[in-house]
Structures are given as C-alpha cells and as structure tokens.
Homo-oligomer: A and B are copies of this chain.
Amino acid sequence: MTLRRIAELAGTSKSTVSRVLTNHPRISQRTREKVLAVIEEHHYRPNLFARALAGGRTGLLGVLSSNISSGFFAEVIRGLDIAASRQRGHIVVSIAHGNDDYSQLLNEMLASGQVDGLILIDPPLDLFNSPLPEKHIPLVLCASQPPDGARAWRELDSVTVDNAKAMRDLVRHLLEQGHQHIVHLAGPQNIYDAQQRRAAFEEAAKQLHVPQFDILDGHLVQTDGRETMRSRFSKPSQWPDAFVAFNDSVAFGVLAEINGAKQRIAVTGWDNSPTAEVLGMTSVEMPMTELGETSADMLLERLSNSTAAANPARRAILDTTLHLRTSSKTGEL
C-alpha cells in the first residue's frame, strides 16, 4: 500500500493524499473525508523513510541513556514512549556503556541524522565540558542540567526534579526526629542528581544547624553502601544517628550491614522503589515516568513549532514526594 495507490483508489492525486496526511489546512472537507476513508479501509501507513527522505519528519525520537539503574531507566523510557506514541512517534534507544561512549554515541546519532530530535537521559556531567556538537535537530536534557559555565549547553531545554527541596524536607524531618549526627552517602559526582543532592544536603545541614554531619562520595549501588559501612563504620560505636543515602540501593547496602540494629539508626533512600515500601524505608519518590513524558513533550513541541528554534530554553522542574516510614521515625523504631 503506497500513497500513490491510495490516491488512485480515492480518485485523486498523490499531493492531495499527502496534504491530508500532513493536516494541510486548505483542503476541502469532502476530499479529506474521502481520502481518510480509503486510508482507513486499507490500513495504510505512510512509509517513514520515504517521508524522511523527502524532507519531512520521521517520527523517530532518539534517546541516549547512560548506564543508570534499571528502575529509573525503565520508567523514564516508559514515559518517553507514552508521549511519543501519543503523536504516533517512536523512540530509538541507545545505551552508553562508559563515559566516553556517551559523547561518541551522541555525535553518531547527530551525524547519521536518523531522528527528528534527541533526548539525553542523565548524561555524565563531563559531557558539558566538551563543546556542544553542531546540531540541526533539537536536544532535550532529561534529569540533568549543565553548570552555569557551559553556556552553549544551557541553551537546551531540560527537565529535572527539585532535589534541593526534597533534601531540605528530608534533613528537617531527621532533625525533628532528634537525630544529631547525619551522614550523607552521596553518589558519584559526575551524575547531576548526585551532585545536586550532595550540595543540597550540605546547604540544608548548615542552614538548619545540624549539630554534626559528614559527606562521603561515590555511592551508586548496594555494594558501595556495604563497602563504606565495612570500612568506615564497622563498629556500632562509629555510627551516626542517621544515614541519608544517594538512592535506595545504597540504603539497602547500609541496611544489610547494620542488620539487627535498625532500632538504633535511621536510614533513608531515594527513588521510592517498591522494596523501600515493603521494608518501611523512608524514601523520596521521583516522578520518573513524568520525567520522560515531559521531556518527550518538550521535544515534540519544538519540532511541531517551527518558529521554536529561536525560543529560549525552557526548564521544567518536577516535584518529588517524600515518603516518611518507620526507618526514620523515632517513635516507631
């Protein structure tokens, strides 16, 4: 089934069919309905490649992701797909295996010109040190934002969550529970969210006058949490009152090490994974699906709005939800 064939069957020309397909305004209601009927009858779908070649859109959105946690990845992808498919589009996914990989993948995607636009999920912050590649398609940053210094990169649209607010609420809660000494097991500092949460923790701790606090970097997965517990906090006498972990995984690592002594110490995570709920662990919920949906919507809007190229960068900042559970509540410990 081709456009040409549809035209024949509808007793019209290819152009007319094409116009119907692209929602051209100046077309008579009658012709449009007639064409649509034929299209419907034969389940016709335009060939994306021909369309792309002729200068139109492909309906393909590129998605670049770093090797992040599966839960986060999957939910964001789901969000992206939801938004893309609402407009009959599809996503082309590539996953970077290392840091260098990311910029290389980006350049290849940009060069091969097979997508209408590109969404960068959680790029390693190093990326912003390199110059913004020359591009003729719009880019959207998902779960990341360039530092003030990276001027060119800051022209891009971005979608992030309000880490600072969540962290402030979390620290305040711990203080209210009477915890005096709080340790933040921060994430790898080449990850945007990790950097943000670290900074937010430090600021909140100072601002709210936490009597004693420490920050340790580089925690991403369970083993990182375990490792730190074994090396730095092997004896209960060394323990603080509370651990604020970069994410749930790290928190689980901590829990595994202090097992049997949960009563004495608060542990909080981040991501609100299903397991956090089961374990009764306090955690910050990230709107992952929404993160994806919003990113794709932003990209699609840039694409549909041809004048948008000149529009200023938009920054969406989504809200998180703090789930307080027994792992941090003194009364219920």
Q: Which A residues contact B (CB, under 8 angstroms)?
A: 1, 43-50, 52-53, 58, 60, 67, 70-71, 73-75, 77-78, 81-82, 85, 90-95, 97, 107-108, 111-114, 221-222, 249, 252-253, 255-256, 273-275, 277-279
Q: Which residues of B contact A74 (CB under 8 A)?
A: 70-71, 73-74, 77
With A74-B70, A92-B92 known to touch, is A112 a contact of B278 (CB < 8 Å)?
no
Which one of B58, B77, B97, B222 lies within 8 Å of A278 (CB-CB)?
A: B222
With A49-B53, A77-B93 known to touch, is A111 a contact of B43 (CB < 8 Å)?
yes
A49 near B114: Cβ-Cβ < 8 Å: yes
A112 near B77: Cβ-Cβ < 8 Å: no
Which one of B53, B95, B111 lies within 8 Å of A78 (CB-CB)?
A: B95
With A53-B47, A77-B77, A114-B49 known to touch, is A93 a contact of B91 (CB < 8 Å)?
yes
Say how far A66's CB is from chain B's closest CB, in angstroms. 12
- CB nearest to A52 among chain B residues: B49
User: Quick one: which of A1, A45, A50, A107 has the most chain B CB within 10 A?
Assistant: A45
Besides A74-B74, A82-B97, A222-B277, 12 other CB < 8 A contacts? A1-B111, A47-B114, A48-B112, A48-B114, A49-B52, A53-B53, A60-B92, A60-B114, A70-B70, A90-B114, A222-B278, A252-B278
Q: Which residues of B contact A58 (CB under 8 A)?
A: 49
